[in-house]
Chain A
Amino acid sequence: MKLILDAEQKELAESVREFLAGTAPMARVREIAESGEPYDGRVWERMAGELGLAGLAVPEEYGGSGAGHAEVAVVLEQLGAALTPSPYFASAVLAANVLLLSGDEEAAKTYLPGIAAGTLVATFAVPAGPGPVARGEVLDGSVPHVLNGADAGLILVAADGAGGRGLYAVEPGAPGLTRTPLTTLDLTRPEARLEFAGTPARRIGPADAGEAIARTLDLAAVALAAEQLGGLRRCLDTIVEYAKLRVQFGRFVGSFQGVKHKLADMHCTLEQAESVVRYAAWAADESPGELPVAAALAQSYLGRAYFQVAKDHLLLHGGIGFTWEHDAHLYYKRAKGSQLLLGSPRSHRADLAERLGLLA
């Protein structure tokens, strides 16, 4: 088990951090969020192209650099800290993983090089409940929440066919496809509702791709946890700095125990959160057998932890934390959005109960 970053991973984190600080500072993040654009196209181009981040975990034969999930986690930590709006999670994590895991060589060859290069933004529409229905290669039904669903250039859909839950690729211009952008609490992460009405789709992988889909979701849970860790850490750093500057009653507010103790608890949360994320990322690469439990553990812990810290971070800023101009609400909203992105905390804990054998 490896729970600390090696020198190369630290370097990767540092270069992504510097890049984001330079090209996507908070002012720019706000501009994008308020513009209604899903993300900053120029930042994405450089992230994917210059830095090669979109293809980090894509094998070399498909145009990627063949690194591991632990490296993807390192990148997401930085993206989460900077709140960078980007299709990284939808495209480089969800879509790339499900394509790879589907075992469909041809589909991988067709789509992955574009995804790795960032020129093709893909997403994966996973219904939480009953999904669209596939009759042959035609889809009917809807998926209520799809990350980057309105702007993606390729939509992968999990749909129920005769042979089980399969994976299908839908082109953005396909007939019978309606994409309705949703208004999201978290302005930095766009979602859309997708409806399929006799929409032609191409099946990818076996008729029953249940296993590939489940594994993709586990990997996504780990990746999301890393992103949550980055946000959590940034919130804590920021509020600790503020508590050292803000004076009330003739003292720095950080010297009051009501504040100090809350910050100490937040630090304890961070220490455990980082440990859980490193473990889950390690399991994703090195110990597939442990992944299901590790992934559910990661979401069970991080979902609550990040929201709690983001909430206290906002409250400890006092009134200024409630103003639109302050960044606190952006983290608060991202934390809540992330907590529900892959299902409610309750559902992750139910999964964990099952995976720990408590139901058997």
Chain B
Amino acid sequence: MTDLDEYGRRARAWLDAHARDLPREADLQTARAFMAELYDAGYSGITWPAEYGGQGLSAAEERVFQEAARDATMPVGPFGIGLGMCGPTLLSIGTEEQKRRYVRPLLRGEEIWCQLFSEPGAGSDVASLQTRAVRDGDAWVVNGQKVWTSVGRQADFGLLIARTDPDVPKHRGITMFIVDMHDPGVTVRPLRDMTGQSHFNEIFFDDVRIAPDQVVGEVNGGWAAAVTTLLHERVSIGMGATRTERPTSFAAMSEAARSRGLLEDAAVRDQLVDLYVRERALDLFNARLSQEVRAGIQPGARGSVAKLLLAELLMNGADVASEILGPDAVAYEDGEGVVARALSFAPGMALGGGTNEIMRNIIGDRVLGLPREPQVDRTVPFRDLKVGTQVKEAGA
């Protein structure tokens, strides 16, 4: 048995003992307690540097743990953005003090992080953001609004991008900050999403003062910082694919079809087979990416492939499921609406973290190296640009 096999065996034993009967959507206190246990057992921040609280192990151990954790339910949802995006960004471009101050509590679930990028006028085109940060003596003063911020309500800190120079083209006047979500100038309002729940929020900043040592990366170098975060985001969503519980998985759906006597129907079998093929093909792609990472090949923009395919798989799964359940998919007694929930959830994956169109742009530009679209806004100072939703001018 190799050391890695042994590592996997211990991880599975730990998960069996600790991650068995926890609901994925546990209350925050339970989730935090679990995260602390996970950290103390050595399974949070497996590849993160030991001097900042990580385990200092290799991608190989990380993969082995993830494989072991595939079928475990772990209430780690509230920490996903910190672990997947904010933490890795701090490690890549944060200052020594920032890493020492923030990384360990993030890994232990003591402090929750959110990502404050999107604005009402700046989603796909996040670089057109209008939230302003102005230097005032010993601080940056922030005013503006963010929207669709996942876990904003639970978060203690956020990675914020704000405009610090409107006189240069839009990508060049942005700065990234660490913002304390408990600051009195920060107002968080839950937004109900189409599932009927409030997973994301809108956030208002009124004269929020941020100390200069909370700048992440360079002043006016925030676009590069944001790109770092987004790269981590796609890999983490895509690679997490196989860990997501899927109420509309092939396994669940073939069981549902069997119990309803629908397997006799060749058309149903064919749809199920199609679902199996898509699911398996994506699982195998994720597994291959993992093996590449282990072999030292970084996935880079190919994370977008996994993210796009996952979004499509979820939509397809929901379609197949509704064929199998028929009217029961959309009208049901309490607690039986797995398919309705899947139908409600599916579009979220095709929007959050970048829409399917944006993923295709990224794959085209960065994986295939295709020529970019003409960019009309690269050289114009931000203050002269049209952004967000514009009313069409008469005669235009």
Contacts and interface: CB of A to CB of B under 8 A. Distances in A.
B281 A353 contact: no
B373 A257 contact: yes
Given A240-B368, A254-B370, A261-B360, A271 B285 contact: yes
Contacts of B100: none
A254 B364 contact: yes
B63 interface: no
A279 B277 CA distance: 13
B263 A359 contact: yes
A264 B291 contact: no
Given A268-B363, A301-B277, A1 B270 contact: no
Interface of B: 254, 257, 263, 266, 269-270, 272-274, 276-277, 280-282, 284-285, 287-288, 291-292, 295, 302, 305, 308-309, 357, 359-361, 363-365, 367-374
A243 B368 CA distance: 10
A135 interface: no
A260 interface: yes
A271 B288 CA distance: 9
A356 B254 contact: yes
Contacts of A358: 254, 257, 263, 269, 272-273
Interface of B is mostly: helix
B357 A257 contact: yes
Contacts of B269: 350, 353, 358-359
B295 A349 contact: no
Given A251-B371, A297-B277, A353 B272 contact: yes
Given A4-B291, A261-B357, A356-B276, A268 B305 contact: yes
Shortest beta-carbon contacts, A-B, top 10: A260-B364, A275-B284, A264-B363, A272-B281, A254-B370, A264-B360, A3-B288, A252-B371, A261-B360, A255-B371
Given A240-B370, A255-B372, A267-B367, A2 B291 contact: yes
Interface residues of A, number: 39
A251 B374 contact: yes
Contacts of A251: 371, 374
Given A244-B370, A271-B302, A278-B288, 20 more contacts: A251-B371, A255-B370, A256-B373, A260-B361, A261-B364, A264-B308, A264-B364, A264-B367, A267-B363, A268-B363, A272-B282, A274-B288, A276-B281, A297-B277, A349-B270, A349-B274, A350-B266, A350-B269, A352-B273, A353-B273
Contacts of A268: 305, 308-309, 363
24 contacts: A1-B287, A2-B291, A3-B287, A4-B291, A240-B369, A244-B370, A260-B364, A261-B361, A264-B361, A264-B367, A265-B360, A267-B363, A267-B367, A268-B309, A268-B363, A271-B302, A274-B288, A276-B280, A278-B284, A301-B281, A346-B270, A349-B273, A358-B254, A358-B272
A188 interface: no
Contacts of A265: 360
A216 interface: no
Interface string A245-289: 000000110111100110111011001111110110000000000
Contact of B281 (A1, A256, A275, A350): A275
A1 B63 CA distance: 13
Nearest to B365: A260
Contacts of A257: 357, 360-361, 373
Max count, chain A CB within 10 A of own CB: residue among B274, B357, B370: B370
Interface in A159-205: none
A160 B305 CA distance: 48
A356 B273 contact: yes
A300 interface: yes
Nearest to B297: A4
B80 to A, nearest CB: 24
B273 A271 contact: no
Interface in A337-357: 346, 349-350, 352-353, 356
Contacts of B285: 271-272, 275
A150 B31 CA distance: 69
Nearest to A240: B368
Contacts of A264: 308, 359-361, 363-364, 367-368
Nearest to B373: A255
Interface string A8-27: 00000000000000000000
Contacts of B274: 349
Contact of A4 (B276, B292, B361, B365): B292
B182 to A, nearest CB: 42
A264 B291 CA distance: 23
Contact of A267 (B273, B282, B368): B368
A4 B295 contact: yes
A268 B278 CA distance: 12
Contacts of A256: 373
Contacts of B369: 240, 244
Nearest to A348: B273
B302 A352 contact: no
A352 B295 CA distance: 32
A274 B292 CA distance: 13
B358 to A, nearest CB: 11
Contacts of B270: 346, 349, 353
Report which residue of B266, B276, B295, B361 has the largest number of chain A beta carbons within 10 angstroms of its beta carbon. Answer: B276
A275 B288 contact: yes
A278 B285 CA distance: 10
